């Protein structure tokens, strides 16, 4: 223990910060054991799907050009469909990010004259331009798709009366954002999402329910597709890529929805038949295999962060004791200076670009300046240790990731050290 403390000290973490962290950890062992049990369940689920679909070395062969008869690509989509318990899946490196995956799913299944409904309030910043809430070329609004929104109640729960009134004959698709995004609302459990889907379909049974599943995969033993979602959508450089996927996104759902998504991603008439894997199959398979364990480590880091910061007077969402349904931990720091200090700590703990200084900047797709700390092996990978947030009240930073629990722990301790060094925290 003394050798570890000495090593941490050479990296910039004081004995006071380290000891505060160790005292905090003593209270978390039972919660960490619960997370490990969920990870074991999800690990078995992934292995069972790979065994069922006879994953072999042949699945790792690279394809180029059109990618016709790509065994590895097609088999990976069967594995995803089995893990998410859906009829079909679209898992492609040609999907560049989570926003792109959501755009494909929405534009494929909404036609001019249809209406999109968000019953969970304002969507994440980058999706606002996709929808046309903020004007942008090629938005859904430009193509004749209207949008309606029902805000959450003051306690962060669904406004079922408002949702009932909002659904009309034009309502074609409901989008449900599982995670909080850049908002300090609760993230939703799979059970809550299932209740919302059941309510929506009781009013209009043919509504398509799509769940933005980013940051939530493998946090629970079930996914939104197990409770009625027609599509679940996410990014491979978040949870399901396990830190190894260098790019990509997925859409799992009904055959009808996925076929349309494939036509929108490639071209009508081509669909899933084209799309070379470009030699990425080993990383996509192995990343998915590792994902349950990686997610467990990230979740432990989020819980540790809440339990470290809340006793110091900072509001945390979720709080130190609440159950959690994604890997994101929001900490309201109260000032731009606090956000910068926190993010400096995360960057200083990174294996890549630890010498860089994160500062707020005008980032594409966002209305406010955003600060981002991420010394990642894959650019923008938020399953790796990262922290970010828009520079606006309540000056909340959103911490997530860590390919190992020990890296997450180091990053959180370093963030606290930078807060102490800046005179923003006294232990």
pLDDT per residue as tens digits for the range 191-232? 999 999 999 999 999 999 999 999 999 999 999 999 999 999
At residue 363, the pLDDT reads: 80
Nearest Cα residue to 129 out of 163, 150, 100: 100
pLDDT beyond 90 at 183: no
pLDDT per residue as tens digits for the range 395-425? 999 999 999 999 999 999 999 999 999 999 9
381: left (phi over 0), alpha (psi -120 to 50) or beta: beta
The CA distance from 144 to 53, in Å, is: 41
What global pTM score does this model have? 0.96
pLDDT beyond 80 at 161: yes
Average of per-residue pLDDT across 134-159: 97
pLDDT beyond 90 at 125: no
The CA distance from 332 to 222, in Å, is: 30
Confidence of residue 116 (pLDDT cuts 50, 70, 90): very high
Pair 250, 208: CB distance under 8 Å: no
At residue 72, the pLDDT reads: 98
pLDDT per residue as tens digits for the range 234-278? 999 999 999 999 999 999 999 999 999 999 999 999 999 999 999
Reading the block at residue 155, the tokens are 């306690």
Reading the block at residue 189, the tokens are 């459990």
pLDDT beyond 90 at 366: no
Q: Which fold has domain 2-42+290-421?
A: 3.90.1150
Confidence of residue 368 (pLDDT cuts 50, 70, 90): confident
User: Could you tell me the residue ranges of all domains in the chain?
Assistant: 2-42+290-421, 61-288
At residue 367, the pLDDT reads: 81
Give every CB contact of residue 61 below 8 A, 6+ residues apart in sequence.
71, 72, 281
pLDDT per residue as tens digits for the range 3-62? 999 999 999 999 999 999 999 999 999 999 999 999 999 999 999 999 999 999 999 999
CA distances from 315 to 20, 84, 283, 309, 370 (A): 18, 34, 38, 8, 20
Average of per-residue pLDDT across 277-304: 98
Average of per-residue pLDDT across 316-337: 96
- CATH of region 61-288: 3.40.640.10
The CA distance from 60 to 418, in Å, is: 44
pLDDT per residue as tens digits for the range 62-95? 999 999 999 999 999 999 999 999 999 999 999 9
């Amino acid at each position: 223990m003394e050798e570890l403390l000495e090593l941490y000290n050479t990296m910039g973490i004081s004995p006071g910060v380290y000891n505060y962290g160790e005292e905090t950890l003593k209270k978390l062992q039972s919660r960490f054991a619960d997370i490990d049990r969920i990870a074991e369940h999800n690990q078995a689920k992934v292995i069972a799907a790979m065994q069922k679909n006879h994953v072999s070395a042949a699945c790792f062969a690279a394809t180029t050009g059109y990618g016709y008869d790509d065994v590895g690509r097609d088999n990976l989509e069967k594995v995803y469909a089995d893990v998410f318990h859906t009829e079909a899946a679209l898992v492609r490196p040609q999907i560049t990010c989570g926003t792109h995956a959501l755009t494909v799913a929405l534009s494929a299944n909404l036609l001019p004259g249809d209406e999109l409904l968000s019953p969970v309030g304002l969507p994440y910043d980058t999706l606002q331009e996709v929808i046309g809430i903020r004007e942008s070329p090629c938005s859904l609004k430009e193509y004749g798709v209207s949008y309606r929104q029902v805000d959450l109640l003051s306690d962060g729960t669904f406004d079922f009366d408002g949702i009932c009134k909002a659904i009309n004959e034009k309502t074609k698709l409901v989008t449900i954002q599982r995670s909080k995004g850049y908002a300090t609302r609760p993230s939703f459990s799979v059970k809550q999402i299932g209740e919302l889907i059941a309510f929506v379909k009781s009013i209009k049974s043919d509504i398509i329910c799509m769940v933005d599943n980013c940051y939530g995969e493998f946090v629970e033993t079930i996914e939104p597709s197990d409770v009625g979602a027609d599509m679940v959508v996410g990014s491979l450089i978040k949870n399901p890529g396990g830190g190894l996927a260098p790019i990509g996104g997925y859409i799992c759902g009904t055959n009808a929805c996925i076929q349309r998504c494939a036509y929108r991603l490639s071209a009508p008439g081509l669909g899933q038949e084209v799309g070379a894997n470009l030699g990425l199959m080993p990383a996509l398979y192995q990343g998915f295999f590792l994902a349950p364990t990686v997610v467990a480590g990230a979740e432990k880091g989020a819980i540790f962060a809440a339990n470290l910061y809340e006793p110091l007077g900072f509001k945390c969402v979720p709080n130190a004791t609440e159950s959690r349904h994604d890997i994101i931990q929001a900490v309201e720091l109260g000032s731009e200076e606090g956000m910068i200090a926190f993010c400096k700590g995360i960057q200083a703990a990174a294996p890549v670009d630890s010498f860089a200084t994160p500062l707020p900047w005008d980032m594409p797709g966002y209305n406010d300046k955003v600060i981002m700390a991420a010394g990642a092996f894959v650019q923008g990978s938020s399953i790796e240790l990262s922290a970010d947030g828009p520079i606006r009240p309540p000056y909340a930073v959103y911490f997530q990731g860590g390919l190992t629990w020990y890296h997450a722990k180091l990053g959180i301790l370093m963030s606290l050290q930078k807060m102490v060094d800046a005179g923003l925290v006294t232990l």
